[in-house]
Chains A and B, each alone.
Chain A
Amino acid sequence: MNDMQTMTAETRLSNDAAPKMTARDVSVYYGAKKAIDCVSIDVSQEHVTAFIGPSGCGKSTFLRTLNRMNDTIANARVDGAIELDGENIYAPSMDVVQLRARVGMVFQKPNPFPKSIYENVAYGPRIHGLAAGRSEMDAIVEQSLKRAGLWEEVKDRLQESGTALSGGQQQRLCIARAIAVEPEVILMDEPCSALDPIATAKIEELIHELRGRYAIVIVTHNMQQAARVSQRTAFFHLGNLVEYGETSEIFTNPRVERTKDYITGRYG
C-alpha cells in the first residue's frame, strides 16, 4: 500500500488557467459520522470531471456539497472551503437560490415534475424571471430541448406530461430543465444508472456536446462510462479522495495501489 493515500490525494494535473470551482479541505459529517475527509479538488471549465469509486465512498455526498444540496439533509455539516469563481459558496452572504441557478444538478433517477414537457423546461426560467414574455419563453424551451437532444422527439407534443416519456427521454428532459436556467456548472449524479444501454449512449453523447459550454461533473459507478465521457477522473474511497488526474492516466497508469485495484476490478 502506498503511504500517500492516508492524507492527501495523489494529484497530477497541468495547471488550469483558473479552475471553475475549487474545494479545499472539505469534510462532510452526517451527525457524528464523517462521510468525506479533507477533500481538495479543482473543477475545470473546459473538461468533464468524473468521480468514481465503490458504493458508499462519498462521491455523491461530495458532489452535493458543490451546490449545497446537502443543506436539505437535517444533520449534515460541511467544513472547509468551496469556491465558485473565487467566491466561497458557504459564506453567509451566499444566496443558495442563486448558487443553485448557477450550479445545476441532474439526479440518479429521472425526476421530471408531473407537468407538461414545456412546463418542466420553463420551470426554472419562470421562477428566476429569465423570460420577458411568451415568445422568449418559447425560445428558451426550444433551445434547451435542442441542446439536450430532445427537441426532435417532443416538439409536436410539448403539452404532454413529462412523466409519460421513456426513462432516457425523461433524463434528457431533466438535463434540458437544468440547462434552461443557463447554469455555469452541471452536476450529474449517476445520470445513467436507471437507464438502458441505448438511452445511456444518448446521454453520454449529449455530455460530449455540452462539454465546454458548461463545466460538467459526473458521478458514476461505471468505470467504462468515466473513461468514455470524462477528461479528468477522481477516485474516491472510504470518504477520501485517493487519486485525481487525467482520465487516460488514471485508467492506464494509476499511481496509487488502491486505484489500480479498483480499476482492475479487484473490489468495488
Chain B
Amino acid sequence: MSSLALFLIVLGLAALGWLMARARAMAFRRVAGGQRAHSLPNYHGWYVALWAALPALLFIAIWTPVSGNLVSEEVMSSPAASSLPPFEMQRMAILREAREIAEGDRPGGFNPQSSEIATVYKSALGRYRMIGAVVALLLAFAGGAFAFTRVSPHFRARTKVERLVMAALLGASTIAIVTTAGIIASLLFESVRFFSLVNPLEFLFGTHWSPQIAIRADQAGSSGGFGAIPLFWGTIFIGAIIAMIVAIPLGLMSAIYLTQYAKPAVRKWMKPLLEMLAGVPTVVYGYFAALTVAPLIRDFGKAIGIASATSESALAAGLVMGIMIIPFVSSMADDSITAVPQAMRDGSLAMGATTSETIRKVIVPAALPGIVGGVLLAVSRAIGETMIVVMAAGLAANLTANPFASVTTVTTQIVQLLTGDQEFDSAKTLAAFALGLVLFIVTLLLNIVALRVVKKYREAYE
C-alpha cells in the first residue's frame, strides 16, 4: 500500500468519524430536550475527526523516513548484498537501481547484481510498508474510537477543538523557525568546511579575491586568494553608502511631505503609488540599472574626464538600489512621524513656529529613533540585494572608492561561485557559504538593532 493511499484512507476514516460523532451529538441533542449540550454537534465531529487523523498522520510522517532506513539496513545485511563492489559510487548506483526495480519504476537493471538485490528489496519494502499501514490504521481507529466514546452532552468538545486549533497554528509558525535554524546550520556546516581549507583571518581581512584553486601547481591561477575585504567594501559602498545617499533624503522628504503637507486626497493616491516601487521585481530594477542607467553614467563619467568610467559601475547599481529602497525608508519614516503625538505638533505651532520649523526642530528629532531603525532595516535589505548588483555592478573585485569604477559585492560573488557546474567540495564553492554566513550575521545584527531601536521608541509614546 503506498503512502498516498494510506494517507487518503486515514482521511476517509477521519471523515467517517466526523459524520458519526456529529450524528450522535445530534441525536442526544434531540433526546435531551430542555437540557443544552455543552458543544454544538460540529465540534464533536471535529474532535473525533482530529483524533482519528492526527496521531495516524503523525505516525506516517515519522515512519516514512524511518522505514526507508530500516529497509536499506535489512538489504545491506542480506547475503545478496555481500557481493557488492566496495567502491562507494558504484555500490550506490546498484542499490538505487535495485530499489527502482523493486518499486516497479524500471523494468530491468543495467547491473546484473541489481535484479538479485531487488527481490530482497521488494520483500523488505513490502514488509515494512505493511507494518506501517497496519499501525497507522490501528492508530486511526483507536484514536477515533477513543474520541467517539467521549462524545456526550457534557463533554467539552468545543474547548478541546480550540486547543487543537491553537496547537496546529503553533506548529505552522514553528515550521518557519525550524527552517531558519536549518538554514543557519547548513551555512555553519559548509563554512566550517571552508575554514578548514582557508584561514578565517585571511578570509575576513585579506584584500586579494581570486577564488580558484589550481589542480596542479604549475597552472595559471594557482595563487588563489580568498581575501573578502574587496567584496565587503563593494557591498558597503553600493548598499550602505551610495544607495543610502539616494534613499535617505528622498525617502525622508517624501515621508515628510506625505504626513505633514499633503492633503488627504493627495496622500490617498500618492502613498500607494510610492509603495508600488517596493513591488517592482528586482530583476526589472536590474536591467534598468544595467541597460539604462549604467551607460548614462559611463558617458557622463567620460564627459567629465574620468577615463576609468566603465559600463559596470558602483554608481549605477547604487543609484538604482537607492531608488528601490525609497519605499522602505519612507514607509518606516512615515510610521514613526505619524506616531509623534499631534500634541507635539500643536505645541510647536502654538509657539508661533512655522510648519517647517516644527518638522525640523520637533517632529524629526522626536521621530529620529524610528527613522534610524527604518534606515538600518533598509541597509540590511540593500546589502542582501542580489539581482541589481549581479546585473549592474560587475565582477572585478576592486578595492576602490571611485564610484565610476566597477566593484563587486558579496551577493554577486555568491551567485558567481554557485552557478554553473561546480564540484561541491572545493574551496571555491565553499567560499560561497562562508560569504553567505557573513552576510547573514551582518543583516541579522542590523535587524536586531533596528527592531530594538524602533521598539524602544514606540514605548516612549505609549
Contact = CB atoms under 8 A, between A and B. Distances in A.
A123 B357 CA distance: 11
B85 interface: no
In order of increasing CB-CB distance, the 7 nearest A-B pairs are A101-B352, A111-B343, A105-B350, A100-B352, A111-B347, A124-B351, A97-B352
Given A69-B346, A113-B366, A114-B366, A104 B263 contact: no
Interface string A147-191: 000000000000000010000000000100110010000000000
Given A114-B366, A123-B361, A107 B343 contact: yes
Chain A interface residue number, banded: 20 to 34
Interface of B: 263-264, 341, 343-354, 357, 361-362, 365-366, 460
Nearest to B347: A111
A113 B264 contact: no
A207 B366 CA distance: 30
A97 B264 contact: no
A98 B352 contact: yes
Interface in A42-101: 67, 69, 72, 74, 97-101
Given A74-B263, A123-B361, A127-B357, A113 B344 contact: yes
A109 interface: yes
Interface string A102-140: 001101010111110000000110011000000000000
Interface of A: 67, 69, 72, 74, 97-101, 104-105, 107, 109, 111-115, 123-124, 127-128, 163, 174, 177-178, 181
A174 B347 CA distance: 9
Contacts of A177: 347, 351
Contacts of B354: 97
Interface of B is mostly: helix
A125 B346 CA distance: 17
A248 B352 CA distance: 35
Nearest to B363: A113
B352 A111 contact: no
Contacts of B353: 97, 123-124, 127
16 contacts: A69-B350, A72-B346, A74-B263, A98-B352, A105-B346, A111-B341, A111-B346, A112-B347, A113-B347, A113-B348, A114-B344, A123-B361, A124-B353, A127-B361, A174-B347, A178-B350
A107 B346 contact: yes
Nearest to B264: A74
B237 to A, nearest CB: 35
Nearest to A71: B349
Contacts of A178: 350-351
Contact of A67 (B341, B343, B350): B350
B444 to A, nearest CB: 30
Given A113-B362, A123-B353, 11 more contacts: A69-B346, A105-B346, A107-B347, A111-B346, A111-B347, A112-B347, A113-B366, A124-B351, A127-B361, A174-B347, A178-B350
